[in-house]
Every structure is written in structure tokens, then in C-alpha cells.
Amino acid sequence: MPPVPMIRTSTVVRYVVAGLLLVQMFLAFQGTSLTAQGSPTLEQFPSIFNGHAVIAVVGETPPHGPYNSGGDSNDVLSLVDAISGVASGSTASVLGSRLDVEVMDYPSLQWKADYASQDVISVGDQKRSIVNYKYNSPVARAWIDDATGNILTVGGGSYSSPDGRHGLISIFTDGSRYVLLVSAASGFTVRAAGAILKSYASYQQVLTGMATVFVPHDDNANDVFDAGEAVTVLATVPAQGASTTTSTTSQVASTTTSTTTSTTTSELSSTSSSTTSLGSVTTTSTMSDVFSTSTSSSATTTTVTGGVLVSSSSIVSSLVFDSTKGLLNFTVSGPSGSYGFFDATIAKALLHGRPVVLIDGAEHPATITEDENFWYIHATYLHSEHQVTIGGAETIPEFPQAIPLLLASLSLALILLRRSSVKGTDKTPLPASY
């Protein structure tokens, strides 16, 4: 029998370890996603932008976007005031003002290449600006409900005002960038938000938490919100997934004026519950239920008491949470060829590991952010009908994706070993008795 080459154990170990290191690097890369750099709060405005590049965005005036609407002069005036607040109170580099269509593609809702990393201040609402439309979801912790016009908050709150002058200011992270969002249907309220941000030192009781839902007051009845006029805070969404707090009295006024306004609870309309109104249908379910959804002309919102909320621009159906496996399953559908998105808020206790999104059985890119108690998942897709599954990495392991690289790495190790053996550097003949 011809001599059989024997490979030194140390050589095998070196190459196998090298292959496994490659796999580990691959897994680390695969596990990288858009994660929050911390939970920013409005108390940090404007110094949170210190040293950052910031772009200011307003909706283009001509009709555009999913609602075929456009921005207006109130949005522009509000943005000017907001930028003034940033410029006066931080070392940010404001790169200038841009139209939404200049910085973001529609309908994909993807940032254009030149605007992929800067911090953002966007003013308008989901109908006038595609940037506000992109973030009109639980990602912003507060958002405008299409069906009712109410402002919804993470945790199940729903807030409005008799004259429709309710609005929100929110700050959050999208990947490595900070996003400051002003959203309100009322032009008066949009301008008021800009004035509040400009005079941030006088409105510290308004600018709290990750999002504030507020109603500005026209104390001098001139149809313009002037610095020093009162603001009612309907709700504050704090950082780290704590419970939303509400206020029913107006006690926020500038220290530069001796006049304050008191607002009684009867002047405001706000509700807080674990259900979300879907026009004429309200759904309430326990985690073990199989529950249905209702649709409106532009969006479907389904809630599950106990830690799951899904909002989508698509029609959502067959939504089921499997508490045993920790899997959320639902179907999205819409006009073929159009783009859709969903936003899922899931309590961390319900998932086994970091969220993984599957669409039609294949892993799908998603923006994943988190706080202490919740995962926030945003994904876009091209319609027609798709099956969506969201589970933890321990339930839907990412490791199988690394198997091809593992095999390739081990194959490379074997090739190197063979070359080494051919050169005779590690060959030792076995005893003849073998």
C-alpha cells in the first residue's frame, strides 16, 4: 500500500479556525441592521444635533405622493422657525432646505443617495410630505390616523381636539440618523410647532419625551400662534417604552409674558384604550386569538392587546400571533405593481431573539429599531399579495444562511490542506504494518 500522507493536527486546526472566523464575520455582518443609537428625547432639542449635518424638508407644492396633495406656505414658515431653533441652540451644520421629492424616492420611500445619512427635520403631515408619510407609523411613537384624523400613540392612546388643531412633534432614530418630525393637518398648528421649536427654552414643558401631542391656543385671537401663547399637552410618549402620560390642563406658557391661559378638560377630546378605531370597526383581541382586520381607503391598522400592533398601507388580513412559537403571521395585499409598507410594534417579551422578517418564506430587508420594551419593524415591498412572518432569531434562525459560506470556508481549508500535503511539508509515512 502506498504511503498515506498524514497532516499535522496543528495545520488542520489553523485552517478550520480560519474558516470558522470567516463564518463568524459573516454572521456578524448578517446580524447588522438599522438600530437606534439610543432613545432621543425632545428635552435634548436642539443640542442633540450638535456636530451633525442636518437637512430640512418640506413637501413639494404641486400635488404628489400617495394622496396627490402638496405642501403649503404654513409648512415653509414652520420649517424656517424650526431651523432657527437649531441654528441658535446647537453646533449643527444645516445643509439647507429641500423638497421631499428631492431627498426621497416615491413610491419606494427610499432616501436618495445624497441624503442617506444626514439628520432630518421634516414638517407637514402624511398627506403633504412623503417623508412624513414614510414615518407616519409607530416608528415615530405618535402618528396621524387616516380614518379619524386623531393622533395615535404607542400604547393605544388616541387624541384629538374639537377644532382639529391637534398636532405632534416627535424625535426618533432611523438607523444612524435622528429624525425630527412635525405633523399636523391644521396650518395654524404646523406654524405653532415651528414657533415652539424656535422658542424651545420657553416651552420645555411641551418638548418632553420622544413625542408630544399638543393643542396650541390663539390667546389674542389673531389667527397666528405667537411666542408666549399657551399650549395644551394632550400626551407625552416617553423614551424606553414607558407608559404614555397625559395632561388635561394647559399650563405651558412663555416666561416672557404675564398672561397665561387655563384650559379645562371639557374643551379637549382625548381617549386612551387598548383598541384602535378602524372607521366603523374596532378590533380587540387577546394574544391567543385569531383575529380579523378592517380596511379603509388608505391604510389598515390592527391592534392586539398584550403587545402587538401592525399598521400598513396595504390591506392586512389573516393576522395571527402564535404565542407558542413567538411568530406573527399576516397577509398584505394591494394593487399589483404599487409599493406598500407595514410597521409592526412587538413587545420584546413575545419574541425569541432579535426580529427576523420573512416575506413569502424568504428573509426580507427591514428597518429594526428598539427601546427597552419594544421592537419597531418597518418594511417596504412591491404589491401583489404576500405572506409575512415576523419571529425572533431563535425561532427563525439566521444561521442557515451562513451554511453556504461555511461550506465554502471549509472547502477552502481542505484545498489549502491538500496543497500543503502535496508540497510534502507535513507528510509522514505511516508504519508499514498499517
Give one DSSP letter per residue of 382-401, joined into a string: E-S-EEEEEEETTTS-SGGG
pLDDT tens digit sequence for 413-423:
566 556 555 55
Q: How many CA atoms lie within 13 A of 349 on its CB side?
A: 5
Cα→Cα distances 318→47, 178, 209, 332, Å: 45, 34, 35, 9
Residue 159, phi then psi, degrees to nearest 5: -135, 145
Provide mean pLDDT across the span 252-273.
30
From 231, 246, 272, give the residue that closes a domain. Answer: 272
Residues 9 and 23 in one domain: yes
Question: 283-304: string of b/e by CB count within 10 Å (b at 16+)?
Answer: bebeeeeebebbbbeebbbbbb
290 plus 377 within the same structural domain: yes
Task: Label the pairing between strands 119-124 and 177-183.
Answer: parallel
Q: How many helices (H) and strands (E) does the chain have?
A: 6, 27
Q: How far apart, in whole angstroms, are the C-alpha atoms of residue 170 and residue 135?
A: 10
Q: Does residue 352 share a domain with residue 231? A: no
Q: Report, as an integer, the average pLDDT of 13-30.
A: 44
Number of structural domains in the chain = 3
Same domain (yes/no): 263, 285: no
281 assigned to some structural domain: yes
Of 1-5, 89-93, 200-204, 230-234, least confident by mean pLDDT is 1-5
Q: How confident is the model at residue 249 (pLDDT cuts 50, 70, 90)?
A: very low
One domain for residues 111 and 167: yes
This prediction's pTM: 0.57
Same structural domain for residues 266 and 388?
no
Q: What whole-number distance in Å separates Cα of residue 300 and Cα of residue 229?
A: 37
* Residue 336 sits in the same domain as residue 383: yes
**At residue 193, what is the residue type?**
A
Q: Which domain holds residue 22?
A: 1-31+398-428
Task: Collect all residues with Cβ–Cβ distance below 8 Å to 288 and sequence separation of at least 6.
Answer: 323
Most confident of 102-106, 247-251, 317-321: 102-106
Tell whether 375 and 285 lie within a shared domain. Answer: yes
Same domain, 209 and 160: yes
CA 41/CA 33 separation, integer angstroms? 22
Q: Would residue 210 count as lying in a domain?
A: yes
CA distance 217 to 206: 13
120 occurs within a structural domain: yes
Q: Do 212 and 63 share a structural domain?
A: yes
* Better pLDDT: 231 or 308: 231
Residue 3 has pLDDT above 70, yes or no: no
323 domain-assigned: yes
Tell me if 37 is assigned to some domain.
Answer: no
pLDDT over threshold 60, residue 226: yes
Any domain includes 129: yes
User: Among the three residues 220, 253, 272, which one is the final residue of a domain in this structure?
Assistant: 272
Residue 434 in domain = no
Chain segment 203-218, per-residue pLDDT in tens: 998 999 999 999 999 9
79 and 228 co-located in one domain: yes
Residues 255 and 226 in one domain: yes
What pLDDT, in 10s, does the model give residues 267-294? 333 332 222 222 222 222 222 222 233 3
Residue where a domain stops, chosen among 272, 294, 328: 272
Maximum mean pLDDT: which of 59-63, 325-329, 378-382, 419-423: 59-63
Asked whether residue 433 is assigned to any structural domain, the reply reads no
